[in-house]
Structure 1
Amino acid sequence: MTKLTAKLLNVTVLTILSTGALFSSIAQAETYSVSVTAIVDHPALNSIRDGVKDQLALEGFEEGKNLKWDYQSAQGNVGTAAQIARNFVGNNPNVIVPIATPSAQAVASVTKDIPIVFSGITDPVAAQLVKSLDANGTNITGVTDELDINKQIELIQKIVPEAKTVGIVFNPGEANSAGVVNKMRELLPNYGMTLIDVAAPRSVDVGPAAQSLVGKVDVIYTSTDNNVVSAYESLVKIGNQMDLPLIAADADSVTRGAIASLGINYYEHGKQSGKMVARILRGEKVGELAVQGTDQLELIVNKKAAQEQGIVLSDDLLSRATKIIE
């Protein structure tokens, strides 16, 4: 073999190796696929979505490099949620992340194989997604945002000490919301209060449902019901006009006009979900991961909303607030 032949051979080998590395790099860039869907777009659910994506990037799974990210919103339509779920399963991603109960139920009904990591769900057992919060050997796990209802009622008492009747607007078709209503009805008598609940199966029903509570309740409490949160301004309008205090479970609802919330940070909730997704992408089995919750609650207070709704906030409450909106 001449020196020239050897040199050409070396160049050819290097070219093949570099081409192989390029193809390997491309293959690596297309290795992971995560499909995310939410029942509707509103600040809390959008924060979850963003938290999942940002955490995956921190974990080394970045869109445009080694992650294919597909997000779709059902825009509040259960039929659309079912269609999105079927399309996702047809694409066969590595993990599906459904945000909120209707989307999770839609995805869970069409696949028993693709790993599902739900997020933004209050009671996954009542929603029949899992039989318990323990590792269950199925393709479903996730992060629950369930809150201690006793602490929610105690917040109501701190803000409206004289309250005897609590109103709640909810979508009876959403398992999360129905579960909160049942617990409120059970626990409120322990605090000398009763509940009046009004159904709002669609977002457009939220305002009229709230209007029907005027004169009947001393305060309105809102859970993380997706219909209610997506139309929260209609509640705020009534609360401000009628001096009817609004207290929420969702922190973003406070920025939109509720007086206060004692709840979780939904961006951090999303990041927690993103950590679970990353573990699965690295090879852990979804059936071996227990459902997670969080005890990290934030008290958010809106002083302007309190004034609009005829409430004077105590110094004690303000001193304990994580964030105060002036």
Structure 2
Amino acid sequence: QDDNQGSTDGEGTKYTVGICQLVQHEALDAATQGFIDALNEALPGQVEFQNKNASGDSANCSTIVNGFVSDGVDLIMANATGALTAAAAATSDIPILGTSITAYGVALDIDDFNGTVGGNISGTSDLADLEAQANMITEWFPEAKKVGLLFCSAEPNSRYQIGEVAKCLSDKGIETKEFAFTDTNDVASVTQSAADYSDVVYVPTDNTAASNTEAIANVLVPAGVPAICGEEGICKGCGVATLSISYYDLGVTYR
């Protein structure tokens, strides 16, 4: 999916920015729009955007960013982990900005990550306060004894989040169990297993979950199992509460 925005009219140097967004859903869409709006405000009429969506396929991310490299874009904005890893593999010369990345060290497999990637990669993180999210579970549902951790096994940043939340809940004496779907095809069946086990379900900032909130809600709501979610878009679709950031502001942060 292509969506070219921006202009090459006006005064000043002209720039071409390639945007690779892993998948279309509310949070990532907002981050992309915030980024576009901020650059258009900072450099009116000077930026042409090549805005491409990988439709949830990491292989498509590689094709997209390799196209950006061939086109000689001035900057690549990689929206979500799959886009970032593809961009990092494609070029060490063109500047890369990541967004909607929970943990750069996890995403790029950097040992002893100190908060700076270095080289041609920088960006912003959507990591929320995971301890506070865990606290929400016990505050909203003090009688809960079992929490199902629902996420996509193909997303390393999701696994990082559920690992941290599990530690926090364990310290409170709450039992947790992981329920991992591999892609959209088994979201419903895995969610059913989570619903059968859980008093409450926790869903982190997970792109596959964000794209399948209706399927998750279709299981959890009839089962009467509430979900605490990692971000607002997922919460709107299948949850009852979240402690989240503004993804639009995350995109604007580049200004």
For 1:185, the equivalent position in structure 2 comes to 166
> Which one of the candidate residues 177, 196, 203 is aligned to 1:215?
196
Partners of 1:30 and 1:68 within 8 A in 2: no
1:88 equivalent in alignment to 2:68: yes
RMSD: 1.8
In the TM superposition, what are the counterparts of 1:1-326 in structure 2 within 5 Å?
28=11, 31-59=14-42, 61-62=43-44, 65-128=45-108, 132-272=113-253, 274-275=254-255
- The code of the aligned residue for 2:119 comes to T
**Number of residues of Structure 1 aligned to a counterpart in Structure 2:** 247
- In the TM superposition, residue 136 of structure 1 has moved relative to its aligned partner by 5.0
Equivalent position amino acid for 2:40 in 1: A
Corresponding position of 1:299: none
Question: Cα offset for 1:256?
Answer: 2.1
Letter in 2 for 1:107: A
Q: CA deviation at 1:26?
A: 6.2
Question: Cα distance 1:26–1:43, how it changes in 2: closer, same or farther (>3 A)?
Answer: closer
Runs of 5+ in structure 2 lacking a partner? 1-7
Single out whichever of 168-177 and 37-46 deviates more from structure 2.
Answer: 168-177
Identity between Structure 1 and Structure 2 (%): 28
5+ residue gaps, structure 1? 1-24, 276-326
**Rg larger for:** 1
- CA deviation profile, 1:142-174 (whole Å, cap 9, x unmatched): 001112221011111122111111112212221
User: Which amino acid is the alignment partner of residue 176 of structure 1?
Assistant: N
Aligned 8 A contact 1:74 1:81 in 2:
yes
Asked if the contact 1:204–1:231 (Cα under 8 Å) also holds between the matched residues in 2, the reply is no
Residue 133 of structure 1 and its aligned partner are, at CA, apart by 4.8
Shift in Å, 1:129: 6.4
Cα contact 1:40–1:74 (8 A) shared by 2: yes
TM, length-normalised to structure 2: 0.91
What displacement does 1:27 show?
Answer: 8.9
Letter matched to residue 171 of structure 1:
C
CA distance in 2, matches of 1:189, 1:257: 24
TM normalised by structure 1 equals: 0.72
